[in-house]
Chain A
Amino acid sequence: GNSVTQMEGPVTLSEEAFLTINCTYTATGYPSLFWYVQYPGEGLQLLLKATKADDKGSNKGFEATYRKETTSFHLEKGSVQVSDSAVYFCAYDDYKLSFGAGTTVTVRA
C-alpha cells in the first residue's frame, strides 16, 4: 500500500549548519506531498507542500522538491536557527493525509 518513510532522528545540529531530512514515498499515482512542523507543546502546522512532480515547495528558508524519478521529497535548509528546533513530518495526500514517523531536530546555539 501507499506509505511514506522519513529519516529517523533525532538530529542535533549547531546554528547555521545545513539540515537535510530525507523522505521517500510509495504510492500509486502522484499524490500531493507535504512537510509539517510541530513545535514543542503545539499541534502540527503546514511548512510547505508540492502538488506535482518537479514542484518545489518553500517556506521560512526550507525547501523540498517533488522528485518523481526517486520518489523523494527531501527537506533542506541552508542555515538553521535555534528556533527551528521541532519535530518534522513528511506526509502525502491521496484522499487523506498519511504521515511519516517524524524527525526530531534540535539546534544548539
Chain B
Amino acid sequence: NAGVTQTPKFRVLKTGQSMTLLCAQDMNHEYMYWYRQDPGMGLRLIHYSVGEGTTAKGEVPDGYNVSRLKKQNFLLGLESAAPSQTSVYFCASSYRHEQFFGPGTRLTVL
C-alpha cells in the first residue's frame, strides 16, 4: 500500500497562475481532506470530502476549489495564485477518526 500520495512535491508559481494539486489514496477511505500548514498556525482545513462526488468548505476555502470525481482522488485547484497561498499543503484521508497524511506539497507563489 502506498497510503496517501501527493503530486507534485514542490512547485513555484507566479501570481495569477493556476495549478492543481493531486492527492491519491489506496486505502478505500471515504473521507479526504486538504490542509495548509503555515508557521505558528498549525494545520488549517481548506476543503474536505465525505465521499465520491461530494465536497465541503473548511476553515479557509477562499481562493481554492476541489473535486472528488473518483473515490481515491481528491484534487485541489488554485485558479489564480496569490503570494498569500505560499504554504505547505497536506492531503489526508481518514478511517474511524484516524487521519492518514500525505508527505506534503511545498508551494511558493512569487
Interface residue ranges, A against B (CB under 8 Å)? 32, 34, 36, 41-46, 49, 51, 89, 93, 96-102
Contacts and interface: CB of A to CB of B under 8 A. Distances in A.
A37 to B, nearest CB: 11
Interface of B: 4, 33, 40-45, 48, 58, 90, 92, 94, 97-104
Contacts of B104: 42-43
A89 B44 CA distance: 12
Contact of A44 (B41, B45, B101): B101
Q: Is the interface of A mostly helix, strand, loop or mixed?
A: strand
A22 B101 CA distance: 24
Given A89-B43, A96-B58, A101-B41, A44 B97 contact: no
Contacts of B97: 32, 34, 49, 51, 93
Contacts of A34: 97
Nearest to A9: B40
B98 A44 contact: no
Nearest to A89: B42
A43 B42 contact: no
A8 to B, nearest CB: 9
A109 to B, nearest CB: 26
Query: Which of A32, A97, A99 has the most chain B CB atoms closer than 10 A to its own CB?
Result: A97
A42 B44 CA distance: 17
Nearest to A100: B42
